[in-house]
Structure 1
């Protein structure tokens, strides 16, 4: 039998790795999450930390850049968790995997506490991230973002394939053909990646950060009831042109296509086809159909 597709490091091995790499005596290790990456809580006398072990295929250079970006943002006053400057690798059964030690994000997920005040602060925080990344952020690695149209053809019904093709054909003119603001983005702006800590919001989870259209960071928030408050907070801190706002529905289409590929093609390879029954793929597909109805009418 060949290599396994992925492995899950045991907490005892993670503890030894942390002690050896970071000289951090760990009193306990708890697996918090395993999906694309494996995330562990590290307890120590210095307080909790997080060790993220990235999926095989994520380059060490990308992870090291993520650490530099986080620390540049934090140095610039953006409330984002810092990373240890040392990113490491180890040989897993499936191949080399990179890892990085992070601060523990203070506070807690917003949950039901989201309101216009929190949303406005969220907008100001994301705007501050964009502005600070512009001000001498570390040069990002080159990362192409191709639409996985061919792979989705094999798992979609004919009618949905036709909608996908029509949307994909229109995307270049609606996005790449427009004069949109580009720069380093967080890559996954959502309430799942922010903690409320007193009167501030703390961002974390930068592993999808890259250079992109800045409005792409706003697509998820733009579908929520508190979008007006978020947008007002963002624009109070940093300019956002009307052309960027006009591109939001098309950037959302691009995001939905990428999400569909993850839930229908990528995730089943390591979670099994049962994962399709979780409902994520159907929700994204329904949103894509609705977008096609609006944008192609």
Structure 2
């Protein structure tokens, strides 16, 4: 029934979906692309991605959320991608605008959204169940870490340190479960144990450039070429987090036994010096789980409460405790 006497309300938009036709107009205005250009809304993840095709070339137009990142942070990400790409690492490279700039601005209902055009990564996501594909991915991440060793420090990219990976995320999760006493109690105990382990481990952890979200769907295999993309969470940090991210995702998909051994064997063949860090992978899988849960919590105003189920929250501590039981330090 239509309300003929609505209560006056100032609507606040959290997240808008931009029409593909508007993105097409933006692309034609800023880039030297053929006017036969086709643009479709492809997917919504951390950012919105539009698939772009023009004169036989394929691109991905990434549109960041208005509340997500500053232009300085985006430029820091792009600088890192160009750096590792220049070292021969297969990554989806950004495409400059006609005027040489890298970032577009879009005035959306919720505020200004930034957008960047990338080369499209053809192919399919590498399978956790395919030994050769897992090996290829392990070698790619090792080469990424090596290529980032001489990346100049930048305040524009986040530091994947204890604050970013642990302290801020767990505070967010604890606040979210405050009305669930049993979960909050067990989670607090897990956090205390994990914090103590991280403090002991920190002096022995290798610091360097990290992708920040290594899993199968952030890469594409096409023939013999595996391309890495989605550097939204990249920055300087403990590189074991990238290894733990891959293993965590594989475990979450119940494919750890097939994916992890070839991945890490291949990684160590390229970067044998990282062998000492392997004893910390389990600890960082716990950090990854808590960090991911906090990420889900942070997006609830946009995705809706249904996105983070009670079942997931109830399983958070048991999931991490199963990893704890395997830790080398007990």
- What TM-score do you get using the length of structure 1 for normalisation? 0.89
Partner of 2:141, secondary structure, is: helix
Q: Cα deviation per residue 1:189-240 (whole Å; 9 max; x = unaligned)?
A: 1111111121231111111111111000011333412211111111111134
Q: Is 1:60 equivalent to 2:92 in the alignment?
A: no
**113, 119, 122: which is aligned to 1:103?**
119
Q: Which residue of 2 aligns with 1:22?
A: 31
Task: Note closer, same or farther for the CA distance 1:191–1:237 as it changes in structure 2 (3 Å cut).
Answer: same
Partner of 2:53, secondary structure, is: strand
Partner of 1:267, secondary structure, is: helix
Q: Which residue of 1 aligns with 2:135?
A: 120
Partner of 2:168, secondary structure, is: coil
Q: Which residue of 1 aligns with 2:13?
A: 4
Q: Is 1:149 equivalent to 2:199 in the alignment?
A: no
Specify the structure having the higher radius of gyration (Cα). Answer: 2
Task: Note closer, same or farther for the CA distance 1:227–1:294 as it changes in structure 2 (3 Å cut).
Answer: closer
Partner of 1:90, secondary structure, is: strand
Q: Is 1:80 equivalent to 2:52 in the alignment?
A: no
Q: Is 1:203 equivalent to 2:236 in the alignment?
A: no
Q: Which residue of 2 aligns with 1:171?
A: 194
Residues 147 and 254 of structure 1 are in contact (CA less than 8 Å); yes or no, is this contact kept in structure 2?
no
Quote the offset at 1:242 in angstroms: 4.5
Residues in 1 aligned to 2:237 and 2:323: alpha-carbon distance in whole angstroms: 21
Task: Note closer, same or farther for the CA distance 1:72–1:53 as it changes in structure 2 (3 Å cut).
Answer: same
Residues 67 and 84 of structure 1 are in contact (CA less than 8 Å); yes or no, is this contact kept in structure 2?
no
Task: Note closer, same or farther for the CA distance 1:74–1:281 as it changes in structure 2 (3 Å cut).
Answer: farther
Q: Is 1:227 equivalent to 2:257 in the alignment?
A: no
**88, 105, 110: which is aligned to 1:94?**
110
Bigger mean CA deviation after superposition, 30-39 or 131-140: 131-140
Partner of 1:49, secondary structure, is: strand
Task: Note closer, same or farther for the CA distance 1:281–1:162 as it changes in structure 2 (3 Å cut).
Answer: closer
Task: Note closer, same or farther for the CA distance 1:242–1:166 as it changes in structure 2 (3 Å cut).
Answer: farther
Residues in 1 aligned to 2:58 and 2:26: alpha-carbon distance in whole angstroms: 16
Q: Cα deviation per residue 1:254-290 (whole Å; 9 max; x = unaligned)?
A: 1111111233x22321121122349765665552343
